[in-house]
Chains A and B, each alone.
Chain A
Amino acid sequence: MSHLDLLTFARGSALNWALMLCVAGVVLRLFEIFALGRKADLARPRTVSPGSGWRTMATRSLPPEGMLKRDPVTYIGGYVFHLGLLVTIFFFAPHVEFIRSMTGLGWPGLPAPLVDALAVAAMMALGILLAHRLNNPVKRMLSGNGDYLAWALTLLPLLTGYLAYHHLLSEYTLMLALHLFSAGLLLALLPFTKLFHTFSLFISRWYNGDISARKGVAS
């Protein structure tokens, strides 16, 4: 099997299965979460604060006050990583083409060197965050295999993409195939690992904001 054959398989059957597992898994988990339901809250809300859930979705995403004093590594690393990953996934021109082919939605990509720099920043942040996780006793105690798996699943597409773009370590076609395999692995496992926070994050933030408002601590 030549490298091009491997790439064709990675872009073909392998990616099809990964995408289908991802979509089915995400729908399944969202369905499960929503179908859990909540008992009707018969108590009168302590404060009337419409839109608190929506506001919380925004406020919890912004840098909190005193974050640099509390835990600068986690906060800065977290922001750098998430921003870098977001731009790399959604604004690298070949990725935009991928999204366009699947959804019909497209937008202009950013210059490759800029995306490249942000991808490097994201990878460095991932490295620092892992080191911090291992060195910080509390974080280490809270971490399980699932956390390390999620870390590796996220790093691999970034790393293989970077190596492919720069023609490092291996021949481009092979590295591109590995990049697609790693992206496929990420997609397939995303719904069933902590990476599902991609979808559940804003749902839970909305719920927390809304329920807190009913209990008198509206955002």
Chain B
Amino acid sequence: MKQAQQPEALPGTVGEGLAQRGISRREFLKFCTSLAALLALPPSMASAVAEAISKARRQSVIWLSFQECTGCTESITRSHSPTLENLIFDLISLDYHHTLQAASAEAAEHAREQAMQDNAGKYLLVVDGSIPLGNPGFSTIAGISNHDMLVETAKGAAAIVAVGTCAAFGGIPKADPNPTGAVAVGDIVKDKPIINVPGCPPIPVVMTGVLAHFLTFGSIPELDELGRPKSFYGETIHDRCYRRPFYDQGKFAKSFDDEAARKGWCLFELGCKGPVTYNACATTKWNDGTSFPIQSGHGCIGCSEPNFWDAGPLYKALSMPVSATPAMLGTAAAAGVAAGVVITWHNRSAKAAAKTAHEKVTVQDLAREDK
């Protein structure tokens, strides 16, 4: 694909823009077919997707970064270069993004305000990072607290995409003891449709896929009860894992470098959280479908699930107790013995008392009874 140069004047529709950049229809249709597959749409929808995208106007996107590590942005930048996926960036007008925009200081903030004004009610708001409620000063941009900027920018948004586990569920900043009082986007904004795209970071094509869905259909994709698109988060890593047959056969790696690990056996016993993690890593994979953590030999840490950081040790099997220790059981056993001593003392006292209170029945007693 040809290197995209920023045009002098932005084309009206995506189709015009693509034509201007010399991207053939065949190339575009191929892209739409893979996009349709990614969005779990039937192949016949590919041409409809192409039609919708080429006629769509470039979607204004405002990307806000709060308490985050820029991993999500790092991830999404891996999705486009040098593949056809950088079309996604041509489909949207990324009007505000700290890391990627050239403007700085007041000019940057002006870009956000301008986009909000020009596309009121139509722009897509992408948020990565959690929002600290403990103290507004914990995280600010141009002197504006994260909370205030989110509330202000969310007002005119058509929809919000909470990218990354921090924005979707609070993520690592929210992990115990949550020193900043971090919350997710959904904890603050209640009146806008929110698409949660969790992951630490999320899979690049999942992020771009969600944006493409919005662009194609003008609506948000079908979501599960945690607000995640079902097409990407509908199944667990475990159920789609290529090592799953080993789990069923009871073949497990016992350490990261044993013979079983080299044979590619299941990593369940090494703490893999694949069975309780809903994400598309095992199917879409990372780095252009090269691999994913389990394929690289490490268990899934469940990074796309709410509160994954506090969900027990990363290297303890899912079926192991989180915090029970043999010492705890020893204490319980000692308590059992102590209680046993007390009950035995009570039993024996009762027995002794019964023995003392026992009156022998004599013949005279029986005779008296007769009277």
Q: Are A113 and B343 in contact (CB under 8 A)?
A: no
Within 8 A of A (CB), among B72-116: none
Contacting residue for A93 out of B252, B310, B329, B347, CB 8 A: B252
A65 interface residue per 8 A CB criterion? no
A63 within 8 A of B: no
Q: Are B321 and A15 in contact (CB under 8 A)?
A: yes
Count of A residues near B, CB < 8 Å?
A: 46
Query: In the complex, what distance in Å separates the CA atom of A18 from the CA atom of B3?
Result: 63
- The B-contacting residues of A in range 20-34, CB under 8 angstroms, are 20-32
- Distance to closest chain B CB from A37 (angstroms): 9
Contact with A along B278-318 (1 / 0, CB 8 A): 00000000000000000000000010011110111000111
Q: How far is the CB of B104 from chain A (nearest CB, A)?
A: 38
- Quick one: closest A residue to B331, CB to CB? A20
For residue A8, CB closer than 8 A to chain B, the reply is: yes
**Residues of chain A from 108 to 139 with CB closer than 8 A to chain B in the complex:** 108-113
Cβ-based interface call for A87 (8 A): no
User: Which of B17-25, B34-42, B334-342 is found at the contact surface with chain A?
Assistant: B334-342
Q: Tell me which residues across on chain A come within 8 A of B328, comparing CB atoms.
A: 16, 19-20
Q: Interface-forming stretch among A40-48, A66-74, A97-105, A211-219?
A: A97-105
Q: Which of A21, A112, A167 is B248 in contact with, Cβ under 8 Å?
A: A112
Specify which chain A residues have a CB less than 8 angstroms from the CB of B208 in the assembled complex: none
Contact with B along A89-101 (1 / 0, CB 8 A): 0000111011001
Interface assignment of A11: CB less than 8 Å from any CB of chain B: yes
Bound CA–CA A32/B333 (angstroms):
13
Partner-binding segment picked from B134-142, B155-163, B268-276:
B268-276
Q: Contact: A11 with B321, CB < 8 Å?
A: yes
A35 touches B347 (CB 8 A): yes
Whole-angstrom distance between the alpha carbons of A13 and B323 in the complex? 8
In the complex, which of the residues B306, B312, B326 contacts A11, with contact meaning CB atoms closer than 8 Å? B312
Residues in A whose Cβ lies below 8 Å from that of B322? 8, 11-12, 15
Assuming the contacts A7-B276, A27-B340, A94-B318, asked whether A2 and B324 have C-beta atoms less than 8 A apart, the reply is no
Residues of A within 8 A of B340 (CB): 27-32, 35
- Say which residue of B249, B321, B341 sits within 8 Å of A111 (CB atoms): B249
Chain A contacts of B252 at CB under 8 A? Answer: 93, 109
Query: Is residue B352 within 8 Å, beta carbon to beta carbon, of the partner chain?
Result: no
Contact with A along B340-352 (1 / 0, CB 8 A): 1101100100000
Question: Taking each of B247, B316, B320, which has the highest tally of chain A beta carbons within 10 Å of its own beta carbon?
Answer: B320
Select one of A19, A29, A32 contacting B329, CB under 8 A: A19
Additional pairs, 13, CB under 8 Å, beyond known A12-B321, A27-B333: A5-B307, A5-B311, A13-B323, A15-B321, A19-B321, A20-B329, A23-B329, A26-B336, A27-B337, A28-B336, A31-B341, A97-B317, A176-B276
15 of the cross-chain contacts (CB-CB < 8 Å) are A2-B169, A4-B311, A5-B307, A8-B311, A11-B318, A13-B323, A16-B321, A20-B335, A23-B329, A23-B332, A23-B333, A32-B347, A94-B318, A97-B319, A108-B250
Contacts from A to B (Cβ < 8 Å)? 2-5, 7-8, 11-13, 15-16, 19-32, 35-36, 93-95, 97-98, 101-104, 108-113, 167, 172-173, 176
